[in-house]
């Protein structure tokens, strides 16, 4: 490798211009040398013999003439066993170890190995000498947490190889040579348990992309029933400050029906990240009874870190997600918040003096966001197994205005949109997903007819509510008032979910399907009341019972008692069933 060197000719915030001698390529990593520190940077533009680099550290002290070393390598992550349970910064530095080494006020220019070179892994070979393999084919496995981690042919070994040697079952470290592969020219390539892959290049070692169709259950009723997310699909959660984006993502990271969760916390506030770091290791995964952290990776940046580091963290996160997908696992990537990443892009674009687009975001904002979400997907691997990466990103538009460029660019590419509403979060109606503004293109756990029927009540209920604001309750007919009360009922017993209640916080799909049918039956019942006051009192009582029902353990004694009470109350008050709903309800019983 030829070592290209250069020297700083200009510094502009955390972008430096470097005149170089030799060859430099886009996204290559360079190190700016300041005193005895080497600051990691990435090439983001090349013009003749001058390149622009974004520096992933605070650029204080860099001056013209400072030396820059180009590494010849793209910005990359290290892939191998030991990633699960880690907390990394955007450049894959393990944060706890970094804090130990450099103190809590992180020193710049300190980079650590992402994977411990001391840990021993119990390797079991799968491939045999003489086997013909391609990239991403399995050489062997090691247990990692509750998964069998595939040790694969490095993804950058294009072409086909013959296994020349492979280690016997035993304990090895990530940097030990685990196998030797012979390429078509007869050259022997030693392979270790870990290898690197450039973060900005999608991992593409699969046979084919499949259509995302099965729901990824989150146990949030409003999502699973009304605005579902598919395995391998994409969704976004835009919401104003404090509307509950982070809490919603935390609930999802605990309960989503996936194998591995990767959280890219490029948060607004340092405190938010600290919360995540403190809370996560204490959470228990109910599937395994072990720490949730064992199947989680956290990539973490606060707003006090340079913007470039925030950009790197989303790419690092998605690359790790793709890596585990290659093992036939279902991975969920949660990015919070993508607006911070977009701001990083805007800042850098400004420094590059590019022609700005809307709200000074670069013109390529849309295509960059699109190509990030395109890395989600459900894929069939070469061995026939299926893996998926689902991506959910929050967006924090200033003032909660969804017309701004980042929200707009995101909703063009995602399959589901969970828009949080200020009004609902102020009223403490959580999750504050707006039932009218939100949408999903995916199939959920309940048939579209049923969901549509319930949704119509919600819509009409809101219409009546708006009307009542104008004409007053007296000016509203009893019939309309009952529609309004039914809308209120769905909202309070189904849309809203108490995330601090042990039972109600996360509802399994079978329970959602079951209680939704109960609710549909109430909606379809035609009630007669002497006046609005009676109607309101009756619905209030019903709502309270239903909330208690939601809070009781699935099909225990209390649950069954409350259910009977609800059914009897409805039966006593009902004059019959809405004729249009009969068919939909019949499907319920069938």
Ligand X SMILES: Nc1ncnc2c1ncn2[C@@H]1O[C@H](COP(=O)(O)OP(=O)(O)OP(=O)(O)O)[C@@H](O)[C@H]1O
Residues in touch with Mg ion (CB under 5 A): 245-246
Is residue 271 within 8 Å of 277, Cβ to Cβ?
no
User: Residue 198 or 431: which CB sits closer to ligand X?
Assistant: 431
Residues 267-306 that bind ligand X (CB under 6 A): 268
Residues 414-433 that bind ligand X (CB under 6 A): 430-431
Site for ligand X (CB under 6 A): which residue of 233, 244, 387, 509? 244
Partnered with residue 188 across adjacent β-strands are 182
Rounded to a whole number of angstroms, the minimum distance from the CB of residue 243 to ligand X is: 4
Taking CB under 6 A as the binding criterion, the range among 26-34, 64-72, 237-245, 581-589 that sits at the site for ligand X is 237-245
Residue 108 in tokens: 């710049």
218 binds ligand X (CB under 6 A): no
CA distance 391 to 381: 19
496 binds ligand X (CB under 6 A): no
E-strand stretches of 304-460: 330-336, 377-380, 386-395, 416-417, 439-440
Question: Phi, psi (5° rounding) for residue 177?
Answer: -75, 125
Rounded to a whole number of angstroms, the minimum distance from the CB of residue 246 to ligand X is: 3
Find which of ligand X, Mg ion, none residue 431 binds, CB within 5 to 8 Å per kind.
ligand X
Which residues neighbour 473 within 8 Å (Cβ) at sequence distance 6 or greater? 481, 532
Rounded to a whole number of angstroms, the minimum distance from the CB of residue 402 to ligand X is: 14
Site for ligand X (CB under 6 A): which residue of 245, 295, 434, 486? 245
Rounded to a whole number of angstroms, the minimum distance from the CB of residue 269 to ligand X is: 6
341 binds ligand X (CB under 6 A): no
Residue that the structure tokens 């009781």 belong to: 552
Residue that the structure tokens 């042990």 belong to: 502
CA distance 417 to 437: 8
User: Residue 235 or 457: which CB sits closer to Mg ion?
Assistant: 235
E-strand stretches of 322-407: 330-336, 377-380, 386-395
Taking CB under 6 A as the binding criterion, the range among 27-35, 125-133, 234-242, 537-545 that sits at the site for ligand X is 234-242
- 378: Cα within 13 Å, side-chain hemisphere: 17
User: Residue 178 or 248: which CB sits closer to Mg ion?
Assistant: 248
Size of the site for ligand X (CB under 6 A): 13
514 binds ligand X (CB under 6 A): no
β-pair type (28-34, 138-144) = unpaired
Which residues neighbour 364 within 8 Å (Cβ) at sequence distance 6 or greater? none
Find which of ligand X, Mg ion, none residue 396 binds, CB within 5 to 8 Å per kind.
ligand X
Rounded to a whole number of angstroms, the minimum distance from the CB of residue 277 to Mg ion is: 14
Q: DSSP letters of 269-307?
A: SHHHHHHHHHHGGG-B-TTTSSBGGGGEEEEEE-TTS-H
Burial annotation 34-47 (CB, 10 A radius, 16+ → b, else e): beeebbbbbbbebe
Find which of Mg ion, ligand X, none residue 487 binds, CB within 5 to 8 Å per kind.
none
Rounded to a whole number of angstroms, the minimum distance from the CB of residue 548 to ligand X is: 18
310 binds ligand X (CB under 6 A): no
81 binds ligand X (CB under 6 A): no
Taking CB under 6 A as the binding criterion, the range among 93-101, 175-183, 244-252, 560-568 that sits at the site for ligand X is 244-252
CA distance 426 to 241: 11
Q: Which residue lies nearest ligand X, judged by its C-beta?
A: 244
Sign of CA dihedral 557, 560, 565, 568: negative
Site for ligand X (CB under 6 A): which residue of 246, 313, 407, 421? 246
Site for ligand X (CB under 6 A): which residue of 30, 81, 233, 239? 239
Query: Under the rule (CB under 6 A), what is the footprint of ligand X?
Result: 239, 241-247, 268, 396, 430-431, 499
């Amino acid at each position: 490798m030829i070592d290209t060197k250069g020297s700083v000719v200009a510094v502009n915030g955390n972008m430096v211009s470097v005149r170089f001698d030799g060859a430099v390529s886009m996204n290559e990593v360079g190190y700016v040398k300041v005193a005895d520190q080497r600051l990691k940077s990435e090439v983001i533009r090349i013009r003749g013999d001058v390149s622009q680099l974004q520096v992933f550290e605070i650029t204080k002290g860099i001056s013209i003439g400072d030396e820059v070393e180009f590494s010849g390598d793209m910005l990359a992550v290290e892939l191998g066993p030991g990633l699960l349970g880690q907390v990394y910064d955007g450049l894959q530095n393990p944060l706890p170890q970094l804090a130990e080494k450099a103190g809590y006020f992180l020193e710049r220019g300190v980079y650590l190995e992402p994977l411990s070179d001391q840990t021993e892994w119990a390797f079991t070979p799968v491939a045999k000498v003489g086997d013909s393999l391609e990239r991403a084919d399995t050489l062997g496995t090691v247990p990692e947490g509750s998964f069998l981690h595939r040790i694969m042919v490095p993804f950058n070994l294009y072409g086909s190889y013959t296994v020349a040697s492979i280690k016997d079952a035993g304990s090895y470290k990530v940097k030990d040579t685990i196998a030797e592969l012979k390429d078509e020219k007869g050259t022997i390539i030693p392979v270790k348990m870990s290898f690197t892959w450039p973060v900005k290049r999608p991992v593409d070692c699969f046979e084919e992309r499949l259509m995302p169709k099965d729901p990824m259950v989150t146990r949030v009723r409003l999502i699973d029933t009304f605005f579902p997310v598919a395995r391998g699909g994409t969704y976004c959660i835009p919401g104003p400050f404090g509307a509950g984006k982070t809490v919603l993502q935390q609930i999802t990271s605990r309960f989503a029906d996936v194998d591995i969760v990767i959280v890219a916390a490029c948060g607004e506030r340092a405190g938010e990240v600290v919360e995540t770091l403190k809370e996560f290791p204490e959470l228990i995964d109910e599937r395994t009874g072990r720490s949730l952290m064992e199947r989680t990776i956290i990539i973490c940046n606060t707003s006090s870190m340079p913007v470039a580091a925030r950009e790197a963290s989303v790419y690092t996160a998605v690359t790790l997600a793709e890596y585990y997908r290659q093992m036939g696992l279902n991975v969920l990537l949660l990015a919070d918040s993508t607006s911070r990443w977009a701001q990083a892009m805007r800042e850098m674009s400004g420094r590059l003096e590019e022609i700005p687009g809307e709200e000074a975001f670069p013109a390529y904002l849309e295509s960059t966001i699109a190509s990030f979400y395109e890395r989600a997907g459900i894929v069939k691997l070469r061995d026939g197994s299926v893996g998926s990466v689902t991506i959910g990103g929050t967006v924090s538009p200033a003032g909660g205005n969804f017309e701004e460029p980042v929200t707009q660019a995101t909703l063009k590419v995602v399959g589901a949109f969970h828009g949080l509403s200020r009004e609902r979060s102020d009223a403490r109606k959580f999750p504050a997903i707006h039932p009218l503004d939100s949408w999903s293109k995916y199939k959920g756990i309940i048939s579209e007819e049923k969901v549509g029927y319930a949704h119509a009540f919600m819509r009409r209920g809101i219409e009546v509510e708006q009307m009542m604001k104008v004409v007053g309750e007296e000016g509203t007919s009893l019939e309309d008032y009952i529609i309004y009360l039914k809308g209120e009922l769905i909202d309070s017993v189904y849309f809203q979910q108490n995330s601090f209640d042990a039972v109600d916080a996360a509802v399994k799909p079978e329970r959602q399907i079951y209680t939704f049918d109960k609710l549909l039956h109430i909606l379809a019942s035609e009630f007669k009341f002497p006046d609005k006051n009676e109607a309101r009192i009756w619905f209030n009582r019903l709502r309270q019972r239903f909330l208690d029902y939601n809070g009781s353990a699935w099909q225990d004694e209390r649950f069954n008692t409350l259910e009977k009470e609800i059914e009897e109350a409805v039966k006593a008050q009902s004059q019959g069933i809405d004729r249009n709903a009969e068919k939909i309800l019949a499907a319920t019983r069938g």
